[in-house]
């Protein structure tokens, strides 16, 4: 790649990003960050009204085009329609962030099998379906950046989270394999592995102060992360600033996995 000004490498002008789980939490924060860096965005969630409202907010705040599109990432037909609509609307797709995800907590003896499958379906199978759809668009383009959402729990375990930890460990295997498959075409695939952010998925911890404190104490920084702290990592992996990075996992976990 030609050498450019260091700060210009982080710009996303004239690029199109699709963010699943983009109507709330980390997905919404990352979508806003990509738009602030110049990208047009497609905000996806299961509810068209929610993603439409967020798209309007991002467009108003950044001046970048943003549209909401509803899809259930566990449904193959929904995913294929979503990516077809995004390509039809913008003519290309440069960035995908797979941020749709859930967490269900039970001790393994009490864990309903249907709940386990539900977590795997959304967190891992849904990511796989979206990656497959993105690859079909990005490979012919000869470029693209896919960012999968792992977790600090991709690398370490935590009680009551057999489904979540299993799904997020799987994300790293998926990410590394796709990086190898796509490298000849110029498409990159990396993962962000967040630690404890106060997202909707972690809201139940607020009702259990002892469990919340136990999670916070796992981090070296001894605090929860704020939502905006995910944006720099997303922009980095989406942009040319990370042009030589693929198959990597970027841990944004306050030092959890350093211990």
pLDDT number for residue 201: 67
Identify whether 257 is part of a domain. no
Helix/strand/coil percent split, the chain, to 5: 55, 15, 30
Identify whether 233 is part of a domain. yes
pLDDT number for residue 111: 97
Identify whether 71 is part of a domain. yes
Asked if 151 and 194 touch (Cβ cutoff 8 Å), the reply is: yes
| Residue 95 Cα distances to 41, 211, 246, angstroms | 9, 36, 14
Q: Based on the structure, what is the number of domains in the chain?
A: 1
Identify whether 2 is part of a domain. no
| Whether the predicted pLDDT of 112 surpasses 90 | yes
Catalytic residues: 164
Identify whether 121 is part of a domain. yes
Identify whether 219 is part of a domain. yes
Range of the domain at 159: 7-249
- 3-class secondary structure, 18: strand
| Whether the predicted pLDDT of 176 surpasses 70 | yes
Q: Which of 43, 13, 11, 42 is nearest to 25 (CA)?
A: 43
Identify whether 259 is part of a domain. no
Q: Which of 204, 228, 205 is nearest to 215 (CA)?
A: 205
Predicted confidence band of residue 216 (pLDDT cuts 50, 70, 90) = confident
Instruction: Determine what percent of the chain is predicted with pLDDT higher than 70.
Output: 97
Q: How much is the pTM?
A: 0.95
Domain holding 115: CATH number?
Answer: 3.40.50.720
Residues 6+ positions from 106 with CB-CB distance below 8 Å: 112, 115, 160
Pairwise pLDDT comparison (86 vs 217), residue with the higher score: 86
| Whether the predicted pLDDT of 241 surpasses 70 | yes
- In angstroms, the CA 16 to CA 188 distance is 15
| Whether the predicted pLDDT of 164 surpasses 90 | yes
- In angstroms, the CA 247 to CA 171 distance is 11
Identify whether 255 is part of a domain. no
- Structural element, H or E, at residue 44: strand 40-45
pLDDT (mean) for 231-255: 98
pLDDT number for residue 3: 76
| Whether the predicted pLDDT of 50 surpasses 80 | yes
């Amino acid at each position: 790649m030609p050498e450019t000004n260091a700060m210009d490498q982080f710009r996303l002008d004239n690029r199109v990003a699709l963010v699943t789980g983009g109507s709330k939490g980390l997905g919404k924060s990352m979508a806003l960050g990509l738009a602030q860096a110049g990208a047009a965005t497609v905000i996806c969630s299961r509810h068209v009204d929610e993603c439409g409202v967020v798209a309007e907010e991002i467009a108003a705040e950044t001046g970048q085009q943003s549209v909401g599109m509803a899809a259930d990432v566990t449904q193959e037909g929904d995913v294929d329609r979503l990516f077809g609509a995004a390509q039809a609307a913008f003519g290309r797709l440069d960035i995908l962030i797979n941020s749709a995800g859930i967490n269900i907590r039970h001790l393994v003896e009490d864990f309903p099998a249907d709940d386990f499958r539900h977590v795997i379906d959304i967190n891992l199978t849904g990511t796989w379906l979206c990656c497959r759809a993105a690859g079909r668009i990005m490979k012919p383009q000869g470029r693209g950046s896919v960012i999968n959402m792992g977790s600090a729990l991709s690398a370490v375990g935590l009680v009551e989270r057999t489904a979540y930890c299993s799904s997020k460990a799987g994300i790293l295997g998926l990410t590394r394999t796709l990086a190898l498959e796509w490298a000849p075409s110029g498409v990159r695939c990396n993962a962000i592995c967040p630690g404890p952010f106060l997202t909707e998925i972690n809201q139940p911890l607020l009702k259990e102060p002892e469990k919340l404190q136990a999670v916070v104490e796992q981090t070296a920084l001894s605090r929860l992360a704020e939502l905006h702290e995910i944006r720099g990592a997303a922009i980095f992996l989406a942009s040319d600033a990370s042009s030589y990075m693929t198959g990597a996992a970027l841990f944004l976990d306050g030092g959890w996995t350093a211990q």
